[in-house]
Structure 1
Amino acid sequence: MSGKPSVLFVCVHNAGRSQMAAAFLTHLAGEAVEVRSAGSAPAEAVNAAVVEAMAEVGIDISAEIPKVLTFDAVEASDVCVTMGCGDTCPVFPGKRYLDWALEDPAGQGVAAVRPIRDEIRARVQGLIAELGV
């Protein structure tokens, strides 16, 4: 990795886990990291319980829109963090891949999303330390 590291977070719908991870990395690392998120089968909107849970910690993701996973997004990223998207994430040589096993917040209320949110924040903090930013 030369210069500013780039991280891509991928989950199936890009409506929950990957949105929270991208928001935490942007919030905690600022301009030091280029952040992307995408989904292998994007939903129409970010999960409302996820938006509410993130607002509770002072991060507004209400304007975010789920995005489709592209080869270009993976190719442009130094680190690709998958969260339950299985084999749909394309693999490129020289990229670092992490798979975070996290419960899917889809269909759950904000009370169930909070522990997922907190686990994601802890993992993002660890990733920031690993990246040295």
Structure 2
Amino acid sequence: MRTSMDASAAAAEARSRGAVVGVVGPAARPGDLLTQIGRELQFPDYYGHNLDALEECLADLSWLPDGEVVLVWDGADDLRRADPTGHAALLEVLTAAVEERAGTHRPLQVVLPSPPANATRTTLP
């Protein structure tokens, strides 16, 4: 899906639907983004700040209320430019989590808004 929207507008629109919203980025290192995701989605203290732990926590989300969960990744291109392999690995985990959470009590949506000059938004998958 593509629509005109920046990160703050995407977050506001999701909140207006009653979604739990986390806004992360920009980050030039995967570890920084993993920390931000954990903080924004209120991951438990045992979260290990690595891809396996991210996958595990996104598969659960039981600490959040029932309803849609939206993760807005602002500045995803920053990580893609700085660490293409890390960017691809994060996208793979996030895409799988979106697919696995579909139809659950806490469906996950990941939004990758583009910079204002481009003014498009990509939603995974």
TM score, norm. by length of structure 1: 0.28
Q: Which has the higher contact order (CA 8 A, sep 6+)?
A: 2
TM score, norm. by length of structure 2: 0.30
